[in-house]
Structure 1
Amino acid sequence: MNAFVLNRHGSLVFPSSVMPQLDFSTMESLDQLDTVIRRDFETKAPSGSDILDRIRTEGYDSRYALMRDLALNLFWTNRFSITMYDKRPTRWADVPRTRSDVFLPVLQPWEDGETKVAAVESAYPTLPPRWDADVEDGIFGVLFDVFGHRKHHATTLPAVKPTVAEFLQDPGNLTFRLPAYDPDFPVYDYDDVLDCREDVPELEALHRWAMVLHNQYPWDRAAVELARADQLADDDYVVAFHPRDREVRDFLRRLGAGATGRPRPVPRESRQPVRPFPAVDVRRQFTVMPRLECLVAVHGDQVCTNDDVVRNSAYNWSPMSADEIREKTGVEERRYTSLSLEELALQAAEAALAKAGRGPEEIGGVLVCTCTSSRLIPSLATYLCGQLGIYQTHAAYDLVAACAGMPYGLAEAARLLQEVERPVLVVCAEKFSDKIGNVRPSRMLFADGAAAMVVGPAADGQAPDFDYLQTYASGPASEVNSIIWPNPEFDNNITVFGPQVKALAGRYLTQMIEEIGALPAPDGAAGSLLDSIDLIVPHQANKTMVLQLAERAGLGADRLYFNIERTGNASSASIPLAIHDAVRDGVITEPVRVFAPGFGAGAVAGYAVMRVDPAVVQVQGAAAPGAAPEEPASTAATERGPASEEMREAFT
């Protein structure tokens, strides 16, 4: 399923958020499926009894609140059929009796169903509309037509339905019976769902939910009844269930063969290293001084606002408004790309070589920092070599260091430079938009983007643009596995475990600040390395979280530059994208010393203390309309010179 599409209104739509699809190739056992189903469908869904109790206790404050519960209940009711099976109304005489891949659901009458339906029908008109009465009435009509004609109990539905032969073993088994079936019964097609448009994002999402749920019962619902196996006549129609794809069929086959989940290895308790790993002192430890010849950025071509996220709310999300997303993450919009990751990286690489004035024959190494590439053979780095016309280079390989990708890439480039004494191309590129699926924390944060830098040898006697380079990795297993992709437990989508991410980020940020606070300022200047920093450009992980951690580490907000409000979290590309935007927006107007810390998946981290001259940054475009830079950073850049006494005073 496409990561995102543009509908006829020009709006972003995420099909996976409203059309549930599970990757059954990753399922090993019924227990694993049960975990996924409970998380995605059952945890937030009220039962019919819950809805009835809330109505009786006046627990609903609006029509929208009641409708949302109805939709969640109906997704839960369809939790197995919507993810595993195609429903095909079939004349009973034509249903195969011995096939192993045709199933009939065994159903139980819905206890007090009529009472629950009547309560919803009578309660809805007494509740006030939340936003738009006419729109809400239309959505309610679609949802209630499904809910009001439900006949069966949902709690005891099994994932694996009985075959027809198994169903017939008990004459008293109940299943759906339709007296007739119209194959042209109206349903919403794919474009209807995509092109749904409402002024209120929450209502647009709910309207899509209602359409998808309507399509689960493409027949005259009022005429449906539950019938015993021994009362079915040849001309009756039953609803036969067929595996929806080969992955489901193979999963059912594995279950039939007795497949069970494999035991997971238990991680050892982590131990501190025998001694700290010192940062690389570039001047002291290297012979060839690295120089930043250029930095270019390629932002995603499609803006995804917080309203777009809400318009695409998935059936398994808790309610959250656009303002709440901003308050929780600092993100107002994120950028997605319609290009492939390879195309995005190639754009950045080509622009970097052009900006640096370097030909392919001059490049000594190509490093690609990414954690979202599905290209293994050839690596993305070697792919770029071929596309760029690099006949041979000393080394070309991918680095998977997630959000610490830029510090890792720059450190590796500086090392390679010692061997080849030729420019090294470093590309940081990520495409998350097609790896998020319907996971809400990831959808709120992650974005697409690429940046490329050429690190070349400085002229004899010229100071390096890099003072210190540092990398780290690992920690407790909970932190190492705090961000996972692909994650079978979340349908192979990227998954973020917030508390563990915050723990590793806080641990590393504190360690970094202590390190650079203890190192001497370069060039024999007074004070520490920290005192000499003009601007801090951190990994744009989550603005709210980073500000909290920075404050805990003793850093004021006025020392940090953020662009996450407009770009989201682009992992390895986030720091170079932010440096570019700082130049574009006038925050960096002359050479400054930047501290660039990164931290993320795999419990990796690193930083670069580097000189950024705006002249080497290729500005891609003006600031977005209405998007002003951070006031403290802008004031600091326009009123004070780099590394000046006033700058140090402001940052102390």
Structure 2
Amino acid sequence: MNAFVLNRHGRMVFPSNIIPELDFSTMETLEQLDSVIRRDFETKAPSGTEILERVRTGGYATRYDLMRDMALNLFWANRFSITMYEKRPTRWRDLPRSRSDVFLPVLEPWEDGEAKVSGVQQAYPQLPSRWDSPCEDRVFEVLFDVFANRRHHASTLPAVKPTVAEFLEQPGNLTFRLPDYDPDYPVYDYDDILDVDEDVPELTALHRWAMVLHNQYPWERSKVELAAAGDLRDDDWVVAFHPRDKEVRAFLRRLRAQAAPRHAPTARESRPPVRPYPAVDVRQRFDVLPRLEALAAVHGDQACSNEDLIRNTAYNWSPMSAEEISSKTGIEQRRYSSLPLEELALQAAEAALAKAGREPEEIGAVLVATCTSSRLIPSLATYLCGQLGMHQVYAAYDIIAACAGMPYGVAEATRLLQEVERPVLVVCVEKFSDKIGNVRTSRMIFGDGAAGLVVGPAPEGAGTDFDVMKTYASGPASEVNSILWPNPEFDNNITVFGPQVKALAGRYLTQMIEEISALPHPDGGEGSLLDSVELIVPHQANKTMVIGLAERAGLTADQLYFNIERVGNTSSASIPLAIHDAVRDGVITAPLRVFAPGFGAGAVAGYAVMRVDPAVVAVQSAPVPQDGASAPAVREPNGSAQGSDGVQEAFG
């Protein structure tokens, strides 16, 4: 459910944003479920009383605002039935009385329901249209048909419904009664919902919401009433609730077993190390000097624009426009891949080897930096070895350093060079698009992509492409846990806690700038190591945030290169993808010194001050949609633009 699909209009759609589903395999207690439900449904949903009050006080500016509240209210009223149960109209005489997995909801009449329905019905035509009056009228017709025939009060619904036997213990219990039931009552097909394509992105999302809510009541709603248990007749139809899948069944069994909740241990207060860790001067520290032989990139083949996000607005998102997403993040689009993570990594590895002119048997070690692999055995690195035909390497393993993956990878490759004295393949790869679910902040930021680097031993008498390296990790537990995946509290989707991320990024960026400002010019020139830097290519976390943090650390925005507005945040792949794009776009046209800082999940960070020669970059042509795996198209840089002097002028 979490992956994206393309509908028949070629529009990107996220099914998990439209059809609420929770991963019950992660839930142990009702308290945990209640936390998820309240966050996803209640905090955004107005009650019927609140809707009526806003109607009476002129609280709605447009028809869209009113309809959005109606939809959120209906999602709240269906919060458990839509996530836990399948509704099956059944004749009362045919309903099992003793099964433990067949339930009947106990309902209470909707307080002042007639007044709330009447208020909405009278208010809608008096409000101005927000964008498209005919479209809004169509959506209102679907929504109001559900809203107007709602019978029950929402706030008293329990997650665990009574079994039929438990329902019958109280003759006064009320439940749905249908005088008849048509199994062919029209509902919207899954593809119908995906294929909605209104001119206004916000109305596309709202129309889909209305269709999903319509499908929650697939019967003649105007004839439904609440009937007491003692008044049900054999030919009456009732709405039986059945667990929607085996995970819900297992969750209900766990509740009956009353398993004790697990409590996470309390973290100790973080304390700084007994002495600072110095940056690694590559020339002084290592005998085998590293050289960047090749860098290749693989972008996602599908562009997901900010408008695409708004078309896929989930029921639990706060209102936000495409322009606001751009303002908050600096991102206009993010790129997603239709390929699995393994194929992305393989394409990047093959392209890097081809650019370096290296055969697989020449490679001494393979390192994969990723935080989105679900592959544990074999590791992604060893999987690549097998796919590339490497009969034996000295070492192959994955590095989970998230957004510092590239600095960690080249630092580890340099250490391995001392032992193997042959090239190390480093692949930085991420696929976030199928791990986001309906989490708004994550969907705004993350993208997919991969990059391959070949770090080999410099020839005898030649210098290194890497001046200084440094890695860091840890901090306060709140920063260590600032980005989580999988996160049971967010239905196992990746979640970002913004203030904590900003705190760790600011802390590390300030520390990095102070460190390289105190180091000497690597070529013996005047000034510091920072003064020798010609271009800063930071981890592409959030353009707005990084610029603000960089300015606080004493840098200026024109010293930084960003490609995040076109590709999103690709974590470990973000720095090498940005270097590739800087070459492709003519920002880097001659060898120059780059400062590449990364920081992120786990409170990890790292940087490399390195020489980037555009001649070693396999420049990928503009990404195009593809149906299957294929090697990335590459072209050589044309070298027609200015050299590093021009970059210095452009970037300060």
Name the TM tier (shorter chain): over 0.9
**Pairing 1:123-522 to 2, within 5 Å after superposition:** 123-522=123-522
Is the Cα–Cα contact under 8 Å of residues 61 and 128 in structure 2 kept in the other structure?
yes
Counterpart in 2 of 1:104? 104
Aligned partner of residue 620 in structure 2, secondary structure? coil
Is the Cα–Cα contact under 8 Å of residues 297 and 450 in structure 1 kept in the other structure?
yes
Aligned partner of residue 522 in structure 1, secondary structure? coil
Shift of 1:259: 2.2
CA distance in 1, matches of 2:124, 2:53: 14
Is the Cα–Cα contact under 8 Å of residues 435 and 493 in structure 1 kept in the other structure?
yes
Shift of 1:252: 0.5
Is the Cα–Cα contact under 8 Å of residues 13 and 312 in structure 1 kept in the other structure?
yes
Letter in 2 for 1:163: T
Shift of 1:360: 1.0
Shift of 1:460: 1.1
Letter in 1 for 2:113: G
Letter in 2 for 1:605: A
Q: Sequence identity of aligned pairs in percent?
A: 78
Moved more, 258-267 or 468-477: 258-267
Letter in 1 for 2:94: D
Moved more, 49-58 or 254-263: 254-263
CA distance in 1, matches of 2:83, 2:229: 26
Counterpart in 2 of 1:603? 603
Letter in 2 for 1:448: D
Deviations 1:435-470 (A, max 9, x none): 000000000000000000000000111110000011
CA distance in 1, matches of 2:374, 2:650: 45
Is the Cα–Cα contact under 8 Å of residues 301 and 336 in structure 1 kept in the other structure?
yes
Counterpart in 1 of 2:581? 581
CA distance in 1, matches of 2:282, 2:405: 19
Shift of 1:260: 3.6
CA distance in 1, matches of 2:446, 2:7: 22
Aligned partner of residue 454 in structure 1, secondary structure? strand
Deviations 1:559-601 (A, max 9, x none): 0000000000000000000000000000000001000000000
CA distance in 2, matches of 1:394, 1:605: 26
Is the Cα–Cα contact under 8 Å of residues 290 and 465 in structure 1 kept in the other structure?
yes
Counterpart in 2 of 1:591? 591
* TM-score normalised by length of structure 2: 0.97
1:561 aligns with 2:561: yes
Is the Cα–Cα contact under 8 Å of residues 12 and 308 in structure 2 kept in the other structure?
yes
Is the Cα–Cα contact under 8 Å of residues 531 and 648 in structure 1 kept in the other structure?
no
Shift of 1:523: 2.0
CA distance in 1, matches of 2:2, 2:342: 17
CA distance in 2, matches of 1:223, 1:86: 21
Letter in 2 for 1:101: D
CA distance in 2, matches of 1:77, 1:344: 42
Counterpart in 2 of 1:80? 80
CA distance in 1, matches of 2:245, 2:579: 46
1:59 aligns with 2:71: no
1:29 aligns with 2:20: no
- The alignment yields a C-alpha RMSD, in angstroms, of 1.2
Aligned partner of residue 43 in structure 1, secondary structure? helix
CA distance in 2, matches of 1:647, 1:307: 33
User: Structure 1 residues 104 and 622 mapped into 2: Cα distance closer, same or farther (>3 Å)?
Assistant: closer
CA distance in 2, matches of 1:87, 1:649: 66
Shift of 1:262: 0.9
Aligned partner of residue 79 in structure 1, secondary structure? coil
CA distance in 2, matches of 1:313, 1:261: 33
CA distance in 2, matches of 1:325, 1:236: 51
Deviations 1:70-115 (A, max 9, x none): 0000000000000000000000000000000000000001110000
User: Structure 1 residues 246 and 49 mapped into 2: Cα distance closer, same or farther (>3 Å)?
Assistant: same
Aligned partner of residue 475 in structure 1, secondary structure? coil
1:46 aligns with 2:46: yes
Aligned partner of residue 503 in structure 1, secondary structure? helix
Letter in 2 for 1:264: A
Aligned partner of residue 523 in structure 1, secondary structure? coil
Counterpart in 2 of 1:619? 619
Counterpart in 2 of 1:632? none
CA distance in 2, matches of 1:623, 1:408: 27
1:551 aligns with 2:556: no
Counterpart in 2 of 1:628? none
Aligned partner of residue 303 in structure 1, secondary structure? strand
1:542 aligns with 2:550: no
CA distance in 2, matches of 1:68, 1:623: 36
CA distance in 2, matches of 1:59, 1:111: 21
CA distance in 1, matches of 2:551, 2:438: 32
User: Structure 1 residues 339 and 650 mapped into 2: Cα distance closer, same or farther (>3 Å)?
Assistant: closer
Aligned partner of residue 242 in structure 2, secondary structure? strand
Letter in 1 for 2:320: M
Shift of 1:261: 1.9
CA distance in 1, matches of 2:259, 2:35: 16
CA distance in 2, matches of 1:271, 1:556: 31
Letter in 1 for 2:185: F
Counterpart in 2 of 1:533? 533
Letter in 2 for 1:457: P
CA distance in 2, matches of 1:431, 1:623: 16
CA distance in 1, matches of 2:521, 2:461: 19
Counterpart in 1 of 2:628? none
Is the Cα–Cα contact under 8 Å of residues 585 and 622 in structure 1 kept in the other structure?
no
Moved more, 523-532 or 402-411: 523-532
Aligned partner of residue 449 in structure 2, secondary structure? strand
Deviations 1:16-64 (A, max 9, x none): 0010010001001000000000000000100000000000110000000
CA distance in 2, matches of 1:100, 1:402: 45
Letter in 2 for 1:538: P
Shift of 1:494: 0.1
CA distance in 2, matches of 1:209, 1:611: 52
Is the Cα–Cα contact under 8 Å of residues 146 and 213 in structure 2 kept in the other structure?
yes
Number of residue pairs the alignment of both structures matches: 637
Structure 1 segments unaligned to the other structure (5+ residues): 625-636
Is the Cα–Cα contact under 8 Å of residues 532 and 648 in structure 1 kept in the other structure?
no
Counterpart in 2 of 1:634? none
Shift of 1:358: 0.4
CA distance in 1, matches of 2:648, 2:43: 51
CA distance in 2, matches of 1:35, 1:591: 53
Is the Cα–Cα contact under 8 Å of residues 409 and 426 in structure 1 kept in the other structure?
yes
Aligned partner of residue 524 in structure 1, secondary structure? coil
Structure 2 segments unaligned to the other structure (5+ residues): 625-639
Letter in 1 for 2:72: L
Deviations 1:172-212 (A, max 9, x none): 00000000000000000110001111010000000000000
Is the Cα–Cα contact under 8 Å of residues 585 and 623 in structure 1 kept in the other structure?
no
Deviations 1:495-549 (A, max 9, x none): 0000000000000000000000000111211110000000000000000000000
CA distance in 1, matches of 2:174, 2:387: 62
Letter in 2 for 1:93: R
